[in-house]
Chains A and B, each alone.
Chain A
Amino acid sequence: DADVTQTPRNRITKTGKRIMLECSQTKGHDRMYWYRQDPGLGLRLIYYSFDVKDINKGEISDGYSVSRQAQAKFSLSLESAIPNQTALYFCATSESPGRHEQFFGPGTRLTVL
């Protein structure tokens, strides 16, 4: 079984809809991250969390919110989706303290029409 899982894997939605992307991990890591990947732009950090009580904005947090429901679960929400949020979204985890090596989920491909 994969250590970091994401649901759904693919989602097509319409402008203005609320969308939630979920991430679960069995690695026992404290730190979790949400990134988005756009063609030609590489991965950019949206939000990150160091533990259940800790939430921090990344470089592109506008239009997104997150919830850390448990050590193993970190959800990303788009309150009102817009077309330029069409992208590939990745969840990642890392140890704390530790090697900072990050482990990624398989990604969610989101299309906003």
Chain B
Amino acid sequence: GDSVTQMEGPVTLSEEAFLTINCTYTATGYPSLFWYVQYPGEGLQLLLKATKADDKGSNKGFEATYRKETTSFHLEKGSVQVSDSAVYFCALGSGAGSYQLTFGKGTKLSVIP
């Protein structure tokens, strides 16, 4: 079945550091890929998405590229801020008649001044 593996946290970075959160997936067919963010005390919000190979999703300085050859969708940001402290979830939607998204377990990011 479908699965998503993302790097375990927590991750602690200093402000303005470079961020990478790794995400790899297993799926049949051609899934859509998503990154969600959950700020403390809130629900999940879509951060970015990509629907086909080589697509790059971007939002709020975050980027991720859909790499079919390595089955990866790593999240990157060049310079993190304290306000980026949150839990980040990688997810895939496999299509093929499925309504569900499969989520990774989440990576908690803390950015310190």
Chains A and B belong together in one complex: no
- A residues bordering B, Cβ < 8 Å? none
